[in-house]
Chain A
Amino acid sequence: MNSMIFTASARILFALMLAASIFILWRGHDEPGGGFVGGLVASMALAVVALAEGVPRARRMLRIHPMSLAGLGVFLGFVSGLPGLLIDGSYLTHQWVFFPNGFKLGTTMVFDIGVYLVVLGGMLALVFRLYEDAP
């Protein structure tokens, strides 16, 4: 695609969409959102780069191979259940850490990041392949 407007705005779109995807991922436990949607939005962000500036450029920006990213995601999901197994004797019972100011952080976040990475990696693997092949 050779539209100059698209190429110019691609970077901005990319940054906005990536930020949005992380925001969606982060708020998922309490508000609409979550790892799955976040991953979809993030993969669209990189797909925009691939469309505007070519797949090699997008691959360079990602640095890691998308399939490895998906594998890492499954691994994170698996790992997030281990603390529950060790502390509660029940795999995937999520554990939480509370901070004095009311802020809380749980292993659910690790799990959600895993889902995010699987969706991101899996989608990008296909998108990159298909666009690389495009005439």
Chain B
Amino acid sequence: MSLVTVLILAAAGSFLGWRLSALGGVAGRLLPVFVPAGLFVSFLFHWPVITTGGVVTDMHAWVPSLGVALNLRLDGFSYLFTLLITGIGSLVTLYAGAYFADAPGEHRARFIFLILIFMTAMLGTVLSDNLIVMFVFWEATSLTSFMLIGFDARKPEARRAALQSLLITAGGGLALFGAILLIGLELGSFSLSNAATSAGQLAQSPYLAGILVLLFLGAFTKSAQFPFHFWLPQAMAAPTPASAYLHSATMVKLGIYLLGRFDAAFAQVPAFGITLVVVGSLTMLIAAFNALRATGYKAVLAQSTVASLGILVMLIGLDGEVAAVATAGFILAHALYKAALFFCAGTAIHATHIAELRKLGGLVRFLPFTAAAAVLASFSMAGLPPFVGFISKEYLFEAQLESGWNVVPVVVAVVVNGIMVAVAGVVSLRPFFLGRDKISKVDHGETLGLLFGPLLLGILGIVMGLIPGQVTRHLVGPAATALYGAPIDTSFSLWHGITPMLFLSLAAVGLGAVLAWKWTPIHDALRAAAWTQKIDADRIYHKTVAAILGIARGSTRWLQNGDQRRYTAIVLAMLLASCLWVIWRTGSFALPEFDTILPLPALLLIAAFVGALVAAQANSLIAALIGVGIVGYGSALLFVLNGAPDLALTQFAVETLVLVVIMAVLLRLPTRTQTTRTKTEHRFDAAIAIGFAGIVFIGLAAMLAIPFDDRISLFYGETSYTEALGHNVVNVILVDYRALDTLGETAVVAFATMGAWALLRRRRTDRKG
């Protein structure tokens, strides 16, 4: 199946899954699973090509004039992602069916629909070889993530978290778009694979700094790296199946994916790697520290996810083959165990309606298989042999030792891994095995749908650890090769012998065991410490947002106070000031020479001038209206004299209609107005009006002094009949040359009058009722 077919099927499948999951009973819970599962199987058919180091491509034109092509490309790295997306997607769909078993059908259907749409967007992101297309899908994942975090829209904290994640990830997406445009400007194409082979050109680019900063902003916001690390734990307001899927296994790894894709492109830029190692290490430390402080079951897991993402960012920053293998291996291992742990957390919270880790205990009596799955997953997370997590951790340490870095990242990695071991112990032992008397009954037991996902992932963690050769050849090897940009001879094996890495692993496990044992006192001490409250990034975020809103409110209140006179005064004063500034900057302007006075136009202008005076001075609104009318008809007559019959016709019609409309308004107003302006205000108004009139006069006169460039009018005059079959150039421009503009303006007219019409309508009902 071609790649674009897969994408189309995924999108269509979302709608199919939506309707299927609205069915009652087992059918509604099981049938939607076939959508992601079918896609998973379709990707398996690409296995032979990928294993031999091949690449699957599928090219389609989309917007050729902008260089945007629907070019899809499947290599080892994206293959790893597609299998995770569709594989875990299938398990999430199955799990969600069971999780929402008691919920109304439409509720569950909406959730499944969002999950499947998200899956489509994810597939599009990792398959696109065109940066613009990738960006479109990238932003689609941010939007679906927003919808899923805010799924329980009635909870204020869910709405708050959803908005926060949207502001941060979509804001980062805009930065990424800037980076993409700069890359396109430098390389002349938006091809991702082309960028990866243009390392030399990118390193020499004058835009390099801009590209790097914007790219980092995009990747770090998406993957919750410091200083944007705080949105991910807040995103736990999403239903647990969504947390398992988006906020641990797939979406948050998109930042990693992007950085991995550009790793080869910026191979010659040292700042790229250094930034990644520093930011990754900082994120790891902060998240590990926050994991010790977190109280919620899901919150602890979320903090450990942020730490894992930090590890991945750091790994991409390290150079060398081993780092590429470690990255690919860790992405796989982490997705397996973290999704499983989220599933177990979801089952425990669902069963007890308690989200706090400390209040849970002894659940093994009620949820024995969930407890088993949690133990399997946490062993892999702790990096114990023979789980796949152990192998990936060995590679992590090896990559650090082989890189040119000093000992600091290694120490950070050991400490953070120690805390990860502790987290693994705490999230599996405490709620299920310790504190037997905390929970006396559960509302929901474990069902097959709730168990299948975590058990399968837990077992996969051990199976993959036992057959590392197969995993390497078919999955990790091709991914690492694609990441590194050159073939790697990988040996992903369980036993490396007595190596420095083994000792580092032992140190991490030892530290973790101590921390897990002393978890409660450490946790309490950290929560009690006042200084930890002050550096809460989430608070800083909310203060920033509140400040921005405050500025907006203040400026709106000052500028938009509802007084039309002030609006006009501000606009005219700004125009006046900018025109004066331009005149002052340019120093001089030429005025045309006046030689003859044309009697007829002069008479018209005098009449219009008198009309304007009447309008400004009259106390009666009707007299003012007539004054304005004289100005309007006067200018219409001027148009006639100067060979613009079209303009004149329109002006006449508009003037007349304005008269008709305003008369209806005037019928309701007192004929004589009370003047509300003070003398000073009047003088100010007059000064602005006279100044503005003067500048317009000078501007128009100066325009006449410049020789008239008639190329455009000649072009339209010559082509209006040959190209558009019309003799009336004005109308031909409106309906043909600039038809799209006119269509837009027509819509504006329609919507504006609709708005005015609606306002008039409300006033009427108010009066009646």
Chain A interface residues toward B at CB < 8 A: 24, 28-37, 40-41, 43-44, 47, 51, 67, 70-71, 73-74, 77-78, 81, 91-92, 94, 96, 104, 106, 108, 111-112, 114-115, 118-119, 121-123, 125-127, 129-135
Among candidates B657, B731, B743, B763, residue contacting A92 with C-beta atoms closer than 8 Å: B743
Among candidates B664, B728, B750, residue contacting A30 with C-beta atoms closer than 8 Å: B728
Q: Which chain A residue has the least Cβ–Cβ distance from B727?
A: A30
Q: Which chain B residue has the least Cβ–Cβ distance from A124?
A: B753
Q: A44-B660, A108-B736, A111-B742 are in contact. List 18 more A-B contacts (CB 8 A).
A: A24-B649, A32-B646, A35-B735, A36-B650, A44-B656, A47-B657, A47-B660, A51-B660, A71-B750, A73-B746, A77-B742, A77-B747, A94-B724, A115-B742, A127-B660, A127-B661, A130-B661, A133-B763
Q: List residues of chain A with CB within 8 A of the CB of B724.
A: 94, 108
Among candidates A34, A44, A51, A134, residue contacting B657 with C-beta atoms closer than 8 Å: A44
Distance in angstroms between the alpha carbons of A123 and B749 in the assembled complex: 10
- Interface contact B750-A40, CB-CB below 8 Å: no
Among candidates A31, A114, A130, residue contacting B746 with C-beta atoms closer than 8 Å: A114
Interface of chain B: mostly helix, strand, loop or mixed: helix
Q: Which chain A residue has the least Cβ–Cβ distance from B648?
A: A32
Q: List residues of chain A with CB within 8 A of the CB of B747.
A: 74, 77
Nearest 4 pairs of A and B residues by beta carbon: A122-B753, A130-B664, A40-B653, A32-B645
Q: Which chain A residue has the least Cβ–Cβ distance from B647?
A: A32
Distance in angstroms between the alpha carbons of A91 and B743 in the assembled complex: 12
Distance in angstroms between the alpha carbons of A70 and B761 in the assembled complex: 17
Q: Nearest-CB distance from A115 to chain B (Å)? A: 6
Question: Contacts A112-B735, A129-B761, A135-B668 given: A77-B746 contact, CB under 8 Å?
Answer: yes
User: Can you spell out 6 A-B residue pairs with CB atoms less than 8 angstroms apart?
Assistant: A29-B727, A32-B645, A67-B754, A70-B754, A129-B757, A132-B764
Question: Contacts A40-B654, A47-B660, A130-B661 given: A31-B728 contact, CB under 8 Å?
Answer: yes
Residue B407 lies at the interface, judged by CB distance under 8 Å to chain A: no
- Interface contact B728-A67, CB-CB below 8 Å: no
- Interface contact A81-B739, CB-CB below 8 Å: yes
Q: Nearest-CB distance from A64 to chain B (Å)? A: 14
Q: Nearest-CB distance from B363 to chain A (Å)? A: 59
Q: List residues of chain B with CB within 8 A of the CB of A131.
A: 664
- Interface contact B749-A122, CB-CB below 8 Å: yes
Q: Which chain A residue has the least Cβ–Cβ distance from B734?
A: A34
- Interface contact A32-B728, CB-CB below 8 Å: yes
- Interface contact B743-A81, CB-CB below 8 Å: yes
- Interface contact A31-B727, CB-CB below 8 Å: yes
Residue B756 lies at the interface, judged by CB distance under 8 Å to chain A: yes
- Interface contact A70-B646, CB-CB below 8 Å: no
Q: Nearest-CB distance from B25 to chain A (Å)? A: 44
Q: List residues of chain B with CB within 8 A of the CB of A74.
A: 743, 746-747, 750
Most buried by A among B646, B665, B746, B756: B746
Residue B667 lies at the interface, judged by CB distance under 8 Å to chain A: yes
- Interface contact A94-B739, CB-CB below 8 Å: yes
- Interface contact A33-B649, CB-CB below 8 Å: yes
Q: Nearest-CB distance from B506 to chain A (Å)? A: 67
Q: Nearest-CB distance from B491 to chain A (Å)? A: 55
Q: Which chain A residue has the least Cβ–Cβ distance from B644?
A: A32
Question: Contacts A108-B726, A122-B753, A123-B657 given: A40-B650 contact, CB under 8 Å?
Answer: yes
Q: List residues of chain A with CB within 8 A of the CB of B757.
A: 67, 125-126, 129
- Interface contact A122-B750, CB-CB below 8 Å: yes
Q: List residues of chain B with CB within 8 A of the CB of A92.
A: 739-740, 743
Q: Which chain B residue has the least Cβ–Cβ distance from A76?
A: B746
- Interface contact A29-B749, CB-CB below 8 Å: no
Interface string of B572-595 (1 = CB under 8 A from A): 000000000000000000000000
Q: List residues of chain A with CB within 8 A of the CB of B734.
A: 34, 36
Distance in angstroms between the alpha carbons of A134 and B656 in the assembled complex: 19
Distance in angstroms between the alpha carbons of A135 and B657 in the assembled complex: 20
Question: Contacts A123-B657, A126-B661 given: A29-B726 contact, CB under 8 Å?
Answer: yes
Q: List residues of chain B with CB within 8 A of the CB of A104.
A: 725
- Interface contact A118-B739, CB-CB below 8 Å: no
Interface string of B715-731 (1 = CB under 8 A from A): 00000000011111011
Q: Nearest-CB distance from A41 to chain B (Å)? A: 6
Most buried by B among A24, A118, A121: A118
Residue B1 lies at the interface, judged by CB distance under 8 Å to chain A: no
Distance in angstroms between the alpha carbons of A92 and B734 in the assembled complex: 12
Residue B760 lies at the interface, judged by CB distance under 8 Å to chain A: yes
Distance in angstroms between the alpha carbons of A115 and B741 in the assembled complex: 12
Q: List residues of chain A with CB within 8 A of the CB of B731.
A: 28-29, 33-34, 112
Residue B732 lies at the interface, judged by CB distance under 8 Å to chain A: yes
Q: List residues of chain A with CB within 8 A of the CB of B750.
A: 70-71, 73-74, 118, 121-122
Most buried by B among A77, A78, A119, A121: A77
Q: Which chain B residue has the least Cβ–Cβ distance from A125?
A: B757
Q: Nearest-CB distance from A77 to chain B (Å)? A: 5
Distance in angstroms between the alpha carbons of A24 and B761 in the assembled complex: 32
Q: Nearest-CB distance from A107 to chain B (Å)? A: 9
- Interface contact B668-A44, CB-CB below 8 Å: no
Most buried by A among B657, B727, B740, B764: B657
- Interface contact B657-A43, CB-CB below 8 Å: yes
Q: List residues of chain A with CB within 8 A of the CB of B650.
A: 36-37, 40
Distance in angstroms between the alpha carbons of A46 and B567 in the assembled complex: 34
Distance in angstroms between the alpha carbons of A43 and B752 in the assembled complex: 17
- Interface contact B754-A77, CB-CB below 8 Å: no
Distance in angstroms between the alpha carbons of A25 and B681 in the assembled complex: 46
Q: List residues of chain B with CB within 8 A of the CB of A118.
A: 746, 749-750
Q: Which chain B residue has the least Cβ–Cβ distance from A98?
A: B725
Distance in angstroms between the alpha carbons of A132 and B668 in the assembled complex: 12
Distance in angstroms between the alpha carbons of A119 and B657 in the assembled complex: 11
